[in-house]
């Protein structure tokens, strides 16, 4: 499974947000999209998920152009966790079960329920199953949204700030789970992240964006302090602690 973007461009009216973006992500890889606010990370994910339609360029999954697929077919291939999600008067169980909607034919099957229950168990949500999502904390709701995307059994998983509203322990638990799902189930993973240290710890590769373009990309061990300074405008030092790269601001 390969996700490919070829010369993707998008503008909001006269403001160009994405400018000839080209890259690919392979099966089993988790790639971090990095860059300051307003650089186009969320817009990029929305273009990949067909929420927005690029003015130019193509998005391909195993060579298949997503523009030619109906919404249900896109949902079978792509799971998406937005940065901000609308809550509703649903229990956590029902909200997660909605992730199975693209696969459900006439009725909810035993297989659908087993997948939902497995995600609930793995993410530690059993105690919240019958709680209404509009009564949950931001972190609890975020975990429900991630579970909903996972039960879609997507080929591509897109995550926009997946650890937003989560405390440190839950950040590590969720990203460890995402890492396991992507590498263990042959999924193609792409996530927009603000926390550089989190991204460098859990991702295989990085894409730095600047002014709507790809400024640099490569494997995590290829990240340099000079790249970070050029993209964020902040001097940093890059050190390693127990094998993990750590970004230390110098100002």
**What are the residue boundaries of the structural domains of the chain, listed by start?**
2-89+153-249
For residue 83, pLDDT beyond 90: no
Q: What mean pLDDT is reported for the chain?
A: 88
The DSSP output letter for 91 is B
pLDDT for the residue 87: 66
- Please state whether beta strands 156-160 and 78-81 pair in parallel, antiparallel, or not at all (unpaired): parallel
Least confident stretch, 3-12, 38-47, 60-69 = 60-69
Quick one: which H or E segment has residue 206?
A: strand 205-210
Least confident stretch, 58-67, 110-119, 165-174, 191-200 = 165-174
Superfamily of domain 2-89+153-249: P-loop containing nucleotide triphosphate hydrolases (3.40.50.300)
pLDDT for the residue 58: 92
pLDDT for the residue 76: 83
């Amino acid at each position: 499974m390969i996700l490919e973007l070829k010369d993707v461009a998008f503008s909001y009216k006269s403001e160009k947000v994405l400018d000839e973006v080209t890259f690919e992500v392979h099966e089993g890889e988790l790639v971090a999209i990095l860059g300051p606010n307003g650089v186009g990370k969320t817009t990029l994910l929305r273009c990949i998920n067909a929420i927005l339609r690029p003015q130019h360029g193509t998005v391909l999954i195993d060579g298949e152009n997503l523009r030619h697929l109906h919404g249900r077919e896109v949902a079978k291939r792509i799971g998406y966790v937005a940065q901000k999600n609308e809550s509703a008067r649903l229990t956590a169980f029902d909200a997660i079960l909605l992730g199975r909607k693209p696969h459900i034919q006439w009725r909810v099957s035993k297989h659908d329920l087993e997948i939902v229950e497995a995600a609930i168990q793995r993410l530690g949500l059993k105690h919240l199953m019958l709680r209404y999502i509009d009564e949950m904390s931001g972190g609890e709701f975020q975990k429900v949204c991630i579970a909903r995307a996972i039960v879609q059994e997507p080929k591509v998983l897109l995550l926009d700030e997946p650890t937003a509203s989560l405390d440190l322990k839950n950040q590590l638990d969720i990203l460890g789970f995402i890492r396991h799902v992507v590498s263990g189930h042959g999924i193609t993973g792409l996530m927009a992240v603000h926390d550089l240290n989190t991204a460098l710890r859990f991702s295989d590769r990085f894409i730095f964006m600047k002014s709507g373009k790809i400024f640099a990309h490569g494997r995590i061990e290829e990240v340099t302090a000079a790249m970070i300074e050029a993209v964020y405008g902040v001097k940093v030092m890059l050190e390693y602690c127990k094998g993990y790269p750590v970004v230390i601001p110098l100002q």
